[in-house]
Amino acid sequence: MGHGKLKKFEENKTFSCLLQPESVEVLAGTSGFGLTDHPIKGHWNDVMFKKPAPIVLELGCGRGEYTIDLAHRNPEFNYIGVDIKGARLWRGAKDATEESMGNVAFLRTRIEFAEAFFAPGEISEIWLTFSDPQIKSENNRLTSPLFLERYGRFLKPGGIIHLKTDSIFLHEYTKAVCKENGLSVIACTEDLYGSDRSSLYDSALASVCGIKAVDSLFEVRTYYERMFLEQGLKITYMAFVPGHGPYSYPEWDPDYWKKIEGNRRTFGHGSVQ
């Protein structure tokens, strides 16, 4: 391990906005999926943010730049970025600390463990930004029925999931999941930056999330998103309400969409965030 990473890991311990539980803390239980609830569960606003506000979760937040930017734009919300890579989270946690941002927190854990940290109805919205499409493993896709079941354990009724991705494979898969399960899709575009912003103003997205949320879609970009755009790649976007479950798996042709995806993904998703 490089000296730079070690230094980041040590500095991570000093950030009060960064929660880093050991995996054994949540894997010691026998309830549910074998998870033990963390003490923060149901208490993020009291313990971490010190103020009541709707909580927005970004899963797979990487360096945290999307979480940070959204929090700057929307001080009336509290934001939590989740990722398993401590060296990536260091950047977001350091920025939030240096800027004294009281509405930002980060959680270092596996996304599969999220329900151990969030109580029923505690989360208002979920952002999935440039998630690994997991082409070979359906259950590992963050919009699979398996993950939608997990989100349902802490997303409030009517809560929204946002999917912003450069992967047409993941975008089309998610559309198929929504169609199969009759989920309410409130915004959908295969080319976000080729779209007229006003068309999203007129959609249900603006009425549910507000105009500022639509503006954020166009104006908040991660480092790698900007690189994708410079290469001429299209960015897709969906917003949907997952419902109550249980969810069914769609009949969908992954091989076809794998061919469509082709070699357009220049960066491995080990480094995308």
pLDDT digits (tens), the chain, 273 positions: 566 888 999 999 999 999 999 877 777 654 445 789 999 999 999 999 999 999 999 999 999 999 999 999 999 999 999 999 999 999 999 999 999 999 999 999 999 999 999 999 999 999 999 999 999 999 999 999 999 999 999 999 999 999 999 999 999 999 999 999 999 999 999 999 998 888 888 888 888 888 888 899 999 998 889 989 998 889 999 999 998 889 999 999 999 999 998 865 544 443 333
Residue 56 lies in a domain: yes
Query: What is the reported pLDDT for 22?
Result: 85
Query: What is the reported pLDDT for 198?
Result: 87
What are the φ/ψ torsions at residue 153 (nearest 5 degrees)? -80, -10
**Count of the separate structural domains present in the chain:** 1
Query: What is the reported pLDDT for 28?
Result: 67
Q: Quick check: helix, strand or coil at residue 238? A: strand
Q: Which residues contact 262 (CB under 8 A, 6 or more apart)?
A: none
Residue 225 lies in a domain: yes
For residue 156, the domain's CATH number is 3.40.50.150
Residue 195 lies in a domain: yes
Query: What is the reported pLDDT for 264?
Result: 58
CB 74 within 8 A of CB 45: no
Residue 228 lies in a domain: yes
Residue 267 lies in a domain: no
Query: What is the reported pLDDT for 219?
Result: 93
Residue 269 lies in a domain: no
pLDDT tens track for 30-65: 444 578 999 999 999 999 999 999 999 999 999 999
Strand locations in the chain (E): 18-19, 55-59, 78-83, 104-108, 123-129, 155-165, 184-189, 236-241
Query: What is the reported pLDDT for 272?
Result: 34
Print the domain residue range for 34. Answer: 3-261
Query: What is the reported pLDDT for 271?
Result: 33
Query: What is the reported pLDDT for 268?
Result: 43
Q: Quick check: helix, strand or coil at residue 142? A: coil
Residue 107 lies in a domain: yes
What's this model's pTM, rounded to 2 decimal places? 0.92
Answer positive or negative: Cα dihedral of 14, 21, 159, 261.
positive
Q: Which of 83, 95, 132, 166 is catalytic?
A: 132
Residue 64 lies in a domain: yes
The yes-or-no answer on residue 132 being catalytic is yes
Exposed / middle / buried, residue 69 (Cβ in 10 Å: 0-12, 13-18, 19+): middle
